[in-house]
A and B are shown apart, each in its own frame.
Chain A
Amino acid sequence: MKKRFYVLLLILVMIVSFGLTGCSSPATEKTEAPSDDAAKTTETTDTAPAPAKEKVLIFARSGDSVSLDPSNATDGESFYVARNVLDTLVDYAEDSTAIIPALATSWETKNEEGTIWEFHLRKGVKFHDGTDFNADAVVFNFDRWMNEDNEYRFDGENFEYWGYMFGGYPGIVKSVTAVDENTVDVELNTPNAPFISNLAMPSFAISSPTAIKKYKGDIFKNPVGTGPFKFVEWLKDDKIVLEKNENYWGEGPKLDKLIFRSIPDNSARLLELQAGTIDMMTGVSPDDAQIIKDDPNLQLYLRPSMNVGYLAMNMMKKPFDDVRVRQALNYAVDKDSIIKAFYGGLAEPAKNPIPPSLWGYNDDITAYEYNPEKAKALLAEAGYPDGFKTTLWAMPVARPYMPQPKEIATALQQQFAAIGVDAEIVTMDWATYLAKGENGEHDTYLLGWTGDNGDPDNFMYVLLDKDNANVGSAGNVAFYKSEAVHKLLIEAQQESDQAKRAELYKQAQVIIHNDAPWVPLVHSTPPIAAKKSVKNYVPHPTGGESIFWKVDIDNN
């Protein structure tokens, strides 16, 4: 009995010591600064050129993708990868939300009302599995998204974003027809100006019909598109590997391989970047931004903002029905100090409900400056010379537009106290917080929004139109019901000329600014860190780079 125990013990000790001593070579090559040219000169005598080193870029983020079929995904990590494998009909420009051709080379409305859109497709494009990209493939994909009886909708596939953006299934789309091999007509029930912007979203990327028929419910693990990179393998919670698509219709990618890894811990991820085992990372804590700026081997990119964090004032409740009170609170907030303290400077102060990266942003508006005296005067004018008591609701979870909601709420509380407003901070679990917000149980309420499609409608209509101010299901948690704004927003939805639309949105922003239903706080600019060897990387406001084919890495 005990003899056996000792023998076992001995074996264990041996195994462990083997593990410790049996491999003392470093597992990862630390990337040195390219200085050892001396070693390379010995090869110059060779007549045959050495094969070029494979260019691999390892991109790390905090979480794994959920699905690689973007039409069935709702999370950013899924879109981020899928964008590189699949193309959409139209795409975003390199660094803005302006629309450029992709799988469709041109498009126009065919009728007076602007309800029939005709798309001319790019010719000679093939999916990664060799299937031809053509009008039938487009129709096949549209039908799968919008038609609930489609036979290629498998268990657990809901096409959420189709429902969100196009109002259900089939929603605003009446029909999609192949006119000929390279022309598709999409007929809408009503004119819908954001329609084209929406089609640039990764959710509406075109998959190979052959692959959908072949993989059925497992298509989310086997994406097949026309994009610059082909899918190779996906190990859950570990890595996703893509490789260069040699037959890409656009400019071929510079990288041979693109690998996405999930590393949940922010600090651990940064250490890997510093150690050189990964090339790029997202999810940099504001505190770490300075470390990256100071590191000679690293560079820091700031993603143009596509979000807004705000404090909504419930206009159904006193004293917030009085515009002077709402303006007073706007004058009471010192946004710069909040950005310095809680965003590590990685955000810009907000004056409008939409971020500056969106077309239609009204830069002529003068922000309410930080002016407690003016705030007090306005309160006195409104009949509150000694201020008032209220509640300040703060969410319990960090959001992209608000990394530290409770701390931000505390700062706001202090700034309001300076003008005599005594705000009690209220917080609860995230789900209840959202439900009570829709019911309008709050006085003032912190929330934010991240845009989907780069269209102002996606912010202003959702968050500030009277259509969305119904108690019990409000997206407009200020319960702001301006007829003038409503009229402008609806008109903008039905106008297909973008310049005219931008004008309408600019007018709406003026009214919103004067009515002050919110204290717009910040637009955060999420940082991305990379090695200095990474070239041509341009962060996109939507949070997903559509031009990864441009990115290069200098791995000498």
Chain B
Amino acid sequence: MGHTILKRILLVIPVLIGVSILAFSILHLIPGDPARVILGERATHDAVIMLQEKLGLNRPLYIQYFSFMKNVLSGDLGTSIITNESVTTELFTAFAATLELTVLSMIIAVVVGILAGTIAAVKQFSVFDNVSMVGALAGVSMPIFWLGLLMIWLFAYKWGIFPASGRLAVSFDIPRVTNVMLIDTLLAGNFAAFKDAIMHLIMPAFALATIPMAIIARMTRSSMLEVMRQDYIRTARAKGLSEKVVIFKHAIKNAFLPIVTVIGLQIGLLLGGAVMTETVFSYPGLGRKLYLSIMARDYPMVQGGILIVAFFFVFVNLIVDISYMFIDPRISLD
């Protein structure tokens, strides 16, 4: 088992190298010279040449790639060409914010999704089943930017329950230690700020959670229905076990495998959803940063961002694969 896990971990290295090449080439294949994009209608010939030299864009591509990789291996993702800040610093600050948002979203999605899916499966064709499945369909279909604006309009503007944007009210002054606002506010011992941070998180976290929540609910339902038809469930019922024990002891565990797969995939996709969510709710995280960097052709920032996201994705997949072995010992990763 340990041997298998080690092999699985080593497999991550070629994947990441592949991703780095891909990230680099995609970026350089996008038409449009970044120097011109940055300068816009002021792009005089001399200014463009000057900026290209400054950005090192006039060197051959493979040389640019190798110097990029050399720096990455020494833990340096370069300097943003827009802000002149260290990419590593900027991205990790933003990543902490995104992590806080996505973890909360995932918790909401998993808890609500699994509960709703299980109940819907157990009480198939009931009102709850129909309502939650229609709700799931709506959740999957509703674009975040629209849902987000709707939420802001309703909860922030109409009712004034939640703040519309940002992470913390401007009146609070909290030292950023981890840049995970819930931790920082607690570290500062400022409970009012902690509450305010939660209030700021709720709307974006729910908006971001809708799609994975819906998908997890549907997956749970179909997986549970599948399991409930198995012989061993009939046997369990025949033994006279209570319905609760049948469902929670025998069914859920066996239904869990496909659900874990979906959860793993959704965590990766959350980062994509975060781009939209963070933009609508002006939440200063990685998604918004990446989007703005692509628009501004900030090569180092985009490359670094893609690497971090890829690393995160690969890491989550690794966890999912390893957790399979615990859920179902028959699975080996060879």
Contact = CB atoms under 8 A, between A and B. Distances in A.
A259 B32 contact: no
Interface string A255-299: 000010111110111011011010000000000000000000000
B41 A238 contact: no
A271 B156 contact: yes
B42 interface: yes
Most buried by A among B157, B195, B253: B157
Interface stretch (B16-24, B43-51, B218-226, B262-270): B43-51
Counting contact residues on chain B (CB < 8 A from A), the size range is 35 or more
A13 B111 contact: yes
Contacts of B50: 163
B280 A265 contact: yes
Interface residues of A, number: 64
Interface in B255-297: 279-282, 284, 288-289, 292
Nearest to B110: A12
Interface string A152-185: 0001111010011000000000000000000000
Contacts of A277: 156, 163-164
Most buried by B among A157, A236, A268: A268
A202 interface: no
Interface string B159-180: 0111111110110010010000
A432 interface: yes
B87 to A, nearest CB: 13
B253 A434 contact: no
Contacts of B54: 158
A19 B169 CA distance: 17
Contacts of B153: 271
Given A237-B289, A275-B157, A429-B31, A268 B282 contact: yes
B152 A271 contact: yes
Contacts of A271: 149, 152-153, 156-157, 164
B76 interface: no
B36 interface: yes
B33 A435 contact: yes
B83 interface: yes
Contact of B166 (A30, A238, A265): A238
A489 interface: no
B54 to A, nearest CB: 7
A58 interface: yes
Interface stretch (B135-143, B198-206, B232-240): B198-206
B150 to A, nearest CB: 10
B4 to A, nearest CB: 19
Interface string A428-459: 11111011001000000001110000000000
A155 B79 CA distance: 10
Interface in B176-213: 176, 195-196, 198-202
B31 A66 contact: no
B317 interface: no
A472 interface: yes
Most buried by B among A12, A13, A158, A277: A277
A438 B49 CA distance: 14
Q: Interface majority SS on A: helix, strand, loop or mixed?
A: mixed
Nearest to B34: A431
Nearest to A156: B84
B195 A22 contact: yes
Contact of B284 (A1, A12, A237, A267): A237
B132 interface: no
A66 B82 contact: yes
A434 B202 contact: no
B321 interface: no
Contacts of B93: 236
B198 A435 contact: no
Interface string A17-56: 0011011001110100000000000000000000000000
Contacts of A156: 79, 84
Nearest to A18: B198
Given A16-B111, A431-B33, A67 B284 contact: no
Contacts of B166: 238-239, 261, 263
Contacts of A19: 104, 198, 201-202
Given A22-B198, A264-B288, A265-B280, A434 B41 contact: yes
A267 B165 CA distance: 12
A70 to B, nearest CB: 14
Given A16-B107, A164-B42, A236 B284 contact: yes
A238 B94 CA distance: 11
B125 to A, nearest CB: 26
Contacts of A233: 173
B165 A268 contact: yes
A23 B42 CA distance: 51
B36 A434 contact: yes
A473 interface: yes
A235 B168 CA distance: 11
Contacts of B284: 235-238
A15 interface: yes
Contacts of B279: 264-265
B292 A63 contact: yes
B107 A275 contact: no
Contact of B107 (A15, A263, A399): A15
Contacts of B196: 27
Contact of B170 (A67, A160, A239, A431): A239
B282 A431 contact: no
Contact of A2 (B157, B195, B253, B288): B253
A220 interface: yes
Contact of A164 (B47, B149, B281): B47
Contacts of B47: 160, 163-164
A66 B83 contact: yes
A58 B111 contact: no
A30 B43 CA distance: 46
B119 interface: no
A27 B107 contact: no
B37 A268 contact: no
Contact of A275 (B42, B110, B160, B280): B160
A551 interface: no
Contacts of A15: 107
Contact of B84 (A67, A160, A164, A399): A67
A449 B41 contact: yes
A56 to B, nearest CB: 8
A228 B82 CA distance: 28
Interface in A212-268: 220, 233, 235-239, 241, 259, 261-265, 267-268
The 9 closest A-B pairs by CB, nearest first: A473-B45, A431-B32, A237-B284, A156-B84, A431-B36, A27-B199, A263-B282, A429-B32, A275-B157
13 contacts: A12-B111, A28-B160, A30-B160, A157-B84, A163-B50, A220-B84, A236-B284, A238-B284, A264-B288, A268-B282, A271-B149, A271-B156, A432-B32
Given A23-B199, A277-B156, A432-B31, 13 more contacts: A19-B202, A23-B198, A27-B196, A30-B160, A58-B170, A156-B79, A239-B166, A261-B282, A265-B280, A277-B164, A399-B40, A429-B31, A431-B32
Interface of B: 31-37, 40-47, 50, 54, 79, 82-84, 90, 93-94, 104, 107-108, 110-111, 114, 145, 148-149, 152-153, 156-157, 160-167, 169-170, 173, 176, 195-196, 198-202, 248-249, 253, 279-282, 284, 288-289, 292, 326
